[in-house]
Each structure stands twice: as C-alpha cells, then as structure tokens.
Structure 1
Amino acid sequence: MHVQSQPPILYFGTPVALLSTINENGSYNIAPMSSVFWLGWRCMLGLSAFSKTTENILRTKECVLNLPSFNLAPAVNRLAKTTGSNPVPAGKLQKGYRYEPDKFGTAGLTPLAGNTVAAPRILECPVQLEAVLTGIHPLAEDNEAQRGRIITLEMRIQRVYIDENILMPGMPDKVDPDKWRPLIMSFQEFYGLGEKVHTSTLAEIPEVLYKTSDMEQAATLNF
C-alpha cells in the first residue's frame, strides 16, 4: 500500500561524480556530487550557486567529471564535508563543512594533467570526462525562497578516458557493464551495482546509433 510521503530529498540513486576544477590561484579543487545526468556527449550538473566548484566552472568554463568505482567510497568520504570556499558559506557551515585547500591530499588521490582542459583528471577514477560549459540554467526561478540558490550547468564532453579494465576485450569504445561498478549514492548512502537482473530490449540497439555531432566536434580538437 502506498502512503503519501514528504521526504526532504528525492535522491533515489545516481552515480557519484568528482568534479575537478581550477581555483583562481591555480590550485586544484575537487567536489563530490551526484546530481548529474547525461544525454549523448552532454551532461547537466545540479549545483549550489554559491559553491567553489560553481564559481570555478563559471570563471574557467571547464571541468573534469571523474567517475569513481565503488571501492573509492572512502576517498569520497574524506572530501564529503570539505569546501574550497573560504570563508565557509553559512549553509555549509551549518552542515559541518570545513575549509580545505588541499583536496587531492585530503582524499589521497592523484592529479593527472588534462589534455583539452586545464582542470586535472583523477588517476584513481576509471572514467574521466573533460568538459566545457555550454549553458547556464537557473533552477527554482518560480520560488522566491530558492531563486538564485541552485543552478544547473550544461557541459559538453570533449575527451573521454576509460580504464581498459572496464572495456570489452578488443573494443576500445565500448564499456562492459559487467565490469563497470560505479559508486552510487541513494539518500546520502553509498551503494554499488549488483549483478544484471534481466536482459534489456534497449541493449539490442547498437550504441553507435546514439552517436551525436558532439563526438565529431571533439575529434577535431587539437591541443
């Protein structure tokens, strides 16, 4: 039987992403988040308008989306209540956040140079997506109490790096979903994917049929 419910958050389960950006002094910032979705080689990021990551992306117009596997949960936890903003914004201070300028050192992660962006990739993450900002979409504009507090950023992916251990043998452009075990956040708790529960009718469609012109544009970039 269903009952009417009012959960304060509606995070029913999405992948965790570690967004790496460049601070104004040239140092690196990492922010864990899970309000993200992809369509083709585009993605939407849902962020606080006051976060250091948002500030960095709006200034530099770029970031790297690093996708951790489930075994990196401890590293994500070490970043969870840290911020690159100093002073710490009031909303984050209330939640117990602290200012941390050395995100890579705190998390125990290793920076790798980006190839099409200045922002660093994260060595330990099996998937690294270099992205540039293409659109800014304010959220909750119809609500005076929330207006200006939440923002969604449209990013275009222009380089994809994938650990060969999660690719299908002999197929460098196809991820093996039986090997890829992303870290999932559901109602603030960490989970991993289990075994495949059923065959998928959609999987009968060749992935190449979803290819967009963004991939062709990315292929022409030369840095």
Structure 2
Amino acid sequence: MTNDTHRVINPSILYFGTPVVLLSTENEDGSCNLAPISSAWALGRHIVLGLGSDSHTAHNLARRPELVISVASPELWERVERLGPLTGASPVPKAKRAVYRYEPDKFGAAGFTPVPSDLVTPPRVGECGLQLEARVRAMNPGGDGAFFGVECEVLRVHADERVVVPGTQHIDPARWSPLIYNFRHYHGLTPELGHGFRSETAALTRPGPISADRVPSAVTPL
C-alpha cells in the first residue's frame, strides 16, 4: 500500500516551472515597451499569454496588436530580473507604486539590444536565441477581470543559427533551452532524460549544448 505523504496547501502562486518570455509592444507615442512574463505556452502556430489586465503590455496590445515574443535562455536571467520592478506606465498605477518604478527605456535599463522586426513594428530582443513576431487574435478576460488570456498568431520565427539542426527547420533541444521561472526562482533545464515518440530531432547527430560564453551578445537578423 502506498504511503501518501501529500498534504493540502494554499500557495500564493502556481508558477510550477514555466518559461520566461520578453514581450515587445508599441507604446502610444511610438516608443517600445519591454516586459517579462512567465505565463506563455504554444498551441500549434499560436502562443497563448497570460497577462494581468492592469499591465501596460495588456493596454498596449488592446490598441496596437503587434508584438514580438522573445524567448529568454538561462544565462539572461539577471537581465530579465532587472526588468521585474520596471513599468512602462506613466504615471505608475497606484496599486504598483510601492514596488514598481517608471522606466521609458527598458531595453537600455536591462542591457538588451533592440533589433528591427520584419513584419511587425515592435523590435526583437537581440540576445534571445528565439524571437517570434506575432499578432494578437483574441484577448479573453478571466479571473473576474484580473487577467487576459491573449491568443497570438506567430507570423515569423527568428532562430540563432547555432541552435538550429543543420540543414533542417528544427530547433536542436540539445543546444538551446528556455529560462524557467520556478516558484519565483530562475532555473535552466537539467540534462535531457529522453525524448517523446514524435521527436523529429532524436535521430540526428548533434554537438553538445552551447555554454554561456558561446551565446551571442546579439542575434543577427536572419
């Protein structure tokens, strides 16, 4: 008989290991806002984002639906964290004033490089190995108005050539992995344990993972 060691708890958050992405959106004055989030998942060619309804990013997307979803990798965690207490909203909403401060140049504040996009107005984050140009297709309210589930259609994918399996259109999971936000702590993925039966890269020969000192400081547009 199994000895059940579980107990009922009431955690304040449920970020049980989710990837970090950086969202570039256009402000009302034509400048760019950059925001980190850790509620993002893919469904085919669509990405679903979880955004607080009072966030500056949500306000931007409701009016200007273009964005770039840049997927952060583990060595970028300190730069990502620099964005945490910053907001592009001025004045800072009253509920956020105790924690957040206004910052008009979030790329500069975090040490990221804006790279022009091909199909949308907001720039890509040069340091991120995966950058997805996208357009919002639906903003679905939830949580009694506390958040939006934002459905985005991916229009173009930019990938650092060093994380693409040569001669293919596939990302090599042995050479790139996302930054994971695990109960408000940053993690990278552990070494691979195995692969799913639908993997398209498992049988391909590939070198080892890229170390932090080999990650590009900026990705050249492809």
TM-score band, normalised by shorter chain: 0.7 to 0.9
The letter for the 1-side match of 2:42 is: W
The one of 176, 179, 182 equivalent to 2:175 is 179
Instruction: Structure 1: state its 5+ residue gaps.
Output: 141-146, 207-223
Q: Runs in 1 of length 4+ with deviation above 6 angstroms?
A: none
- For the residue of structure 2 that corresponds to 1:88, the secondary structure is coil
Instruction: Name the counterpart of 2:186.
Output: 190
- SS of 2:57's equivalent in the other structure is helix
Confirm or deny that 1:57 pairs with 2:53: no
For the residues of structure 2 that align with 1:104 and 1:118, how far apart are their CA atoms? Answer: 15
With structure 2 as the length reference, what TM-score do the two structures score? 0.85
One-letter amino acid of the counterpart of residue 156, structure 1: E
Aligned to 2:103: 100
Structure 1 residues 48-92: Cα deviation after superposition (integer angstroms, max 9, x where no partner): 111111111111111100011111111101101100011212332
Seen in structure 2, the aligned counterparts of structure 1 residues 159 and 204 have a Cα distance that, compared at 3 Å, is: closer
- Partner of residue 68, structure 1: 72
Q: In the alignment, is the contact (CA less than 8 A) between 2:117 and 2:133 conserved in 1?
A: yes
Distance in structure 1 (CA, Å) of the matches to 2:114 and 2:61: 18
Identify, as 1 or 2, the structure richer in helix. Answer: 1
Structure 2 stretches lacking a partner, 5+ long: 203-222
Shift of 1:119: 0.7
Among all aligned residue pairs of Structure 1 and Structure 2, give the percentage whose two residues are the same amino acid: 43
Distance 1:10 1:21 in 2: 26
CA distance in 1, matches of 2:111, 2:201: 40
C-alpha separation between the residues in 2 aligned to 1:181 and 1:39?
A: 18
Equivalent AA in structure 2 for residue 37 of structure 1: W
Trace 1:8-157 onto structure 2 (pairs within 5 A).
Answer: 8-94=12-98, 96-140=99-143, 147-157=144-154
- The CA RMSD measured in Å over matched residues stands at 1.5
TM-score w.r.t. structure 1 length?
0.85
